[in-house]
Amino acid sequence: MAEFMTETKQRSPATGERRGPAGDAGAGPFDGQEAAALLERTRALVDPELRAAVESLPGSMRRIALYHFGWEHADGTPATGNAGKAIRPALVLAAAAALGGPRARKAAVRAAVAVELVHNFTLLHDDVMDRDTSRRHRPTAWTVFGDADAILAGDALQALALRLLAEDPHPASGAAAVRLADCVMELCAGQHTDTAMEHRAPDEVTLDEVLAMAEAKTGALLGCACALGALYAGAGAQEVAALDGFGRQAGLAFQLIDDVIGIWGDPRRTGKPAGADLAVRKKSLPVVAALASGTPAAAELAALYGKPYVKGEPGDGAEIARTALAVEQAGGRDWAQAEAADRMARAMQELARAVPVPEAAGGLLALAEFVTRRSS
Amino acid sequence: MAEFMTETKQRSPATGERRGPAGDAGAGPFDGQEAAALLERTRALVDPELRAAVESLPGSMRRIALYHFGWEHADGTPATGNAGKAIRPALVLAAAAALGGPRARKAAVRAAVAVELVHNFTLLHDDVMDRDTSRRHRPTAWTVFGDADAILAGDALQALALRLLAEDPHPASGAAAVRLADCVMELCAGQHTDTAMEHRAPDEVTLDEVLAMAEAKTGALLGCACALGALYAGAGAQEVAALDGFGRQAGLAFQLIDDVIGIWGDPRRTGKPAGADLAVRKKSLPVVAALASGTPAAAELAALYGKPYVKGEPGDGAEIARTALAVEQAGGRDWAQAEAADRMARAMQELARAVPVPEAAGGLLALAEFVTRRSS
């Protein structure tokens, strides 16, 4: 769940030579400006309600949440804030607008806030489990307030999210709450699989498992965001399912691209050392695909990954370069790029099914391009 | 949140000389048999739906939850099960029946399941935070599956609880979901206060703070259970508030009695060493009341509590006896018993306000007597 947002990785926005999931060097139909405008507009619509919801928490929980969202420093003084890029609320609003116009977009603001609260609840908990010390360029909540308070603040944010939907008189709010709760359970299962995989040997992990995990951890909430927007637009079951599929496939495309960047990304752009994911022996999608290839390079990769990573120890540059080459020679890089392109194509099919009018689908398309492009 | 259920403490049912919160030696209007029958009937009504709900979780989450509820062993083989005494679901059903008869009781089963799921979500998380290793006579989930899985299973149970209400077509389900979510936030704040108090000096903690913490941690969910039952019976705002007050006051009475037992309880009945709460320097209600008394015994108590407790070290019998005597001489024991009687009186007032017909109130009364009596 922590994998999706680029800001969580402290990577810079995309300016690289690979601009789309298919590796096309030119700009797509959107240059990112439409997405940026959508995100800005989303923040303007969502932030006041999000902030008001967080302010309604009991004092101790409010304090931790305000810190987590970047609205307060650890000592309780106001901070300028960096509450993330609001991709998920933007998807809710864009989906509502695509199927129901401006009125539906306005009605869906509360659902957008609920999705953002769920996202942040999972970030608080994932950081505890993964012992991640930094998020959005600040120390994670558990490092400041302790594990217990970070867990409790996450629990409270989940309750707050479902409360917002429960008190919403909109006719879609009940169905939206069911869907959001189901999504939480899927996110939990995905995070479980991710943490469990860390303790397994690389050759025991199958590609299907890693794809399923990525869909649960990354795709599920993007799909849910789109589905909630569709529900608030009064869409039928087929359109809701298609928009859910659109978000899921776009999320998988993002994860594939993100995994490629984690191995071959330019450290000057990613802000992380070259091959950072290889140094920590991450069982990312290109690596698992490479290991499953049955090639001589796969055997070499398995041997390299067999050496345990010692946490905190810097990676050996030459060894990491050899590992990256083995993944590439075993076909992991090509597979990931082709798979990302395939997933984006599937996302477009789902989008066309739900929103046949291209003009109406523009916002969702821009956001999908944005999430898969900005991390490259 | 973990404080309420007697089975969580591994204490035996009540057979002691103090039988009621006021310390009356004789039996009250109920001898516990009515409560036992109510609890058994509740389990028969609630367990099939509770089990079906848990079975609907994604595989990995289901496994942890089935273990936690006592329905499976750690290896996934079936277990005979000890899912707790079902006090909270019994309160939901009794409140519904008191205000709406058998039909309302039947309609409220799903709400009873939701309350029980929330209770168990908090148990899973509290055990992680408090590093408790035993619950219902079995190793806690985090000791078996690790912290991450116990946190995730708790998250999933919260989502499942709110999902059950979101999909319930009953007209009260939305209001019930709002109330249950609010209760979760209060429980979180109460657990935060409890864990934060552990790191504060005994004389920095005020009686009002400890009472507020006990209300949030123990009273809130009992009150919420009663309120949900009232909502499902179609009760008005005043009756719902009164039943919430009834549950809260009864919960506080329970906590006061439980704290008295934690100091002066008979080890043969409690299954814990004498003065167990004193050995771990617990800032329980009688202790904090004693410390605030301004008596010479309070000063002695403060000095004794000033010596840090070393986890895992057995308490010094003579010192614990001296500490217990100091609490008693400073008036902590008398205060707690009088306060418990006062809280039960308030609970009865709230009950009479919500349910003026004594016959209809019988079930709730029996349960209130049961929770305050069985731990003595």
Contact B181 A163 (CB under 8 A): yes
User: Is B204 a residue whose pLDDT tops 60?
Assistant: yes
Determine the Cα–Cα distance for residues B80 and B95; give it in Å rounded to an integer: 29
Using a CB-CB cut-off of 8 Å, the residues of chain B touching A177 are 162-163, 166, 177
Contact A174 B158 (CB under 8 A): no
Average pLDDT over chain B reads 88
User: Is A230 a residue whose pLDDT tops 80?
Assistant: yes
- The mean pLDDT of A268-290, rounded to a whole number, is 86
- The mean pLDDT of A312-341, rounded to a whole number, is 89
B186 contact A CB<8A = yes
At residue A26, the pLDDT reads 38
CB-count burial class (<10 Å; 0-12, 13-18, 19+) for A49:
middle
A62 contact B CB<8A = no
User: Is B100 a residue whose pLDDT tops 70?
Assistant: yes
Greater model confidence, B276 or A334 = A334
Specify if B57 maps to a domain: yes
Specify if A160 maps to a domain: yes
At residue B189, the pLDDT reads 97
Label residue A374 by pLDDT band (50, 70, 90): low
Number of domains composing chain A? 1
Label residue A266 by pLDDT band (50, 70, 90): confident
- The mean pLDDT of A122-136, rounded to a whole number, is 94
At residue B301, the pLDDT reads 95
Specify if A15 maps to a domain: yes
Closest CA to B4 of B282, B344, B250: B250
Contact between A23 and A340 (Cβ < 8 Å) = no
A108-145 core/surface letters (b: 16 or more CB in 10 A; e: else): bbbbbbbbbbbbbbbbbbbbbbbeeeebbebebbbbbb
B182 contact A CB<8A = yes
In this structure, what CATH number is given to the domain that contains residue A27?
1.10.600.10
Label residue B18 by pLDDT band (50, 70, 90): very low
Q: What residue numbers bound the domain in which B40 lies?
A: 10-255+349-373
At residue A312, the pLDDT reads 59
- The mean pLDDT of B172-189, rounded to a whole number, is 98
Specify if A346 maps to a domain: no
At residue A273, the pLDDT reads 75
User: Is A185 a residue whose pLDDT tops 60?
Assistant: yes
Contact between B338 and B324 (Cβ < 8 Å) = no
Most confident of A17-21, A210-214, A305-309, B34-38: A210-214
Using a CB-CB cut-off of 8 Å, the residues of chain B touching A151 are 125, 128-129, 151
Contact between A192 and A217 (Cβ < 8 Å) = no
Label residue B315 by pLDDT band (50, 70, 90): low
ipTM of this complex: 0.90
At residue A272, the pLDDT reads 73
**For B78, which DSSP code?**
B
- The mean pLDDT of B10-15, rounded to a whole number, is 34
List the structure tokens of B52: 């079906």
Specify if B103 maps to a domain: yes
At residue A30, the pLDDT reads 56
Chain B contact probe: residue of A110, A123, A129, A185 with most B CBs at under 10 A:
A185
At residue B314, the pLDDT reads 62
Among A58, A59, A181, beta carbon nearest to B159: A181
At residue A16, the pLDDT reads 33
- The mean pLDDT of B176-184, rounded to a whole number, is 98
Q: Which residue of B has its CA nearest to A156?
A: B185
> What digits encode the pLDDT tens for the residues A34-83?
999 999 999 999 999 999 999 999 999 999 999 999 999 999 999 987 77
Determine the Cα–Cα distance for residues A296 and B169; give it in Å rounded to an integer: 59
Closest CA to B165 of B122, B221, B108: B108
Sign for the pseudo-dihedral over CA of A96, A101, A104, A108: positive
State whether residue A139 is helix, strand or coil: strand
At residue A329, the pLDDT reads 97
At residue A14, the pLDDT reads 35
User: Is B375 a residue whose pLDDT tops 60?
Assistant: no
Closest CA to A110 of A46, A175, A183, A54: A46
Residue whose tokens read 């005979």 = B80
Contact B159 A158 (CB under 8 A): yes
A197 contact B CB<8A = no
- The mean pLDDT of A272-301, rounded to a whole number, is 91
At residue A8, the pLDDT reads 37
Specify if B214 maps to a domain: yes
- The mean pLDDT of B155-180, rounded to a whole number, is 98
**Beta carbon pairs, A and B, within 8 Å:** 144
A144 contact B CB<8A = no
Most confident of A1-5, A261-265, A269-273, B58-62: B58-62
Distances (CA, A) of B149 to A119, B62, B66, B143, B208: 18, 11, 13, 10, 36
> What digits encode the pLDDT tens for the residues B282-306?
999 999 999 999 999 999 999 999 8
> What digits encode the pLDDT tens for the residues A154-173?
999 999 999 999 999 999 99
**For B311, which DSSP code?**
T
- The mean pLDDT of B323-352, rounded to a whole number, is 96
Distance from CA of B105 to the nearest CA of A (A): 22
At residue B265, the pLDDT reads 87
Using a CB-CB cut-off of 8 Å, the residues of chain B touching A128 are 147, 151
Contact B189 A158 (CB under 8 A): no
Determine the Cα–Cα distance for residues A58 and B194; give it in Å rounded to an integer: 14
User: Is B27 a residue whose pLDDT tops 60?
Assistant: no
Specify if B295 maps to a domain: no
User: Is B117 a residue whose pLDDT tops 70?
Assistant: yes
At residue B3, the pLDDT reads 36
Residue whose tokens read 């794809």 = A211
At residue A20, the pLDDT reads 38
**For B199, which DSSP code?**
T
Greater model confidence, A23 or A369 = A369
Q: Which residue of B has its CA nearest to A122?
A: B155
Specify if A116 maps to a domain: yes
Label residue A348 by pLDDT band (50, 70, 90): very high
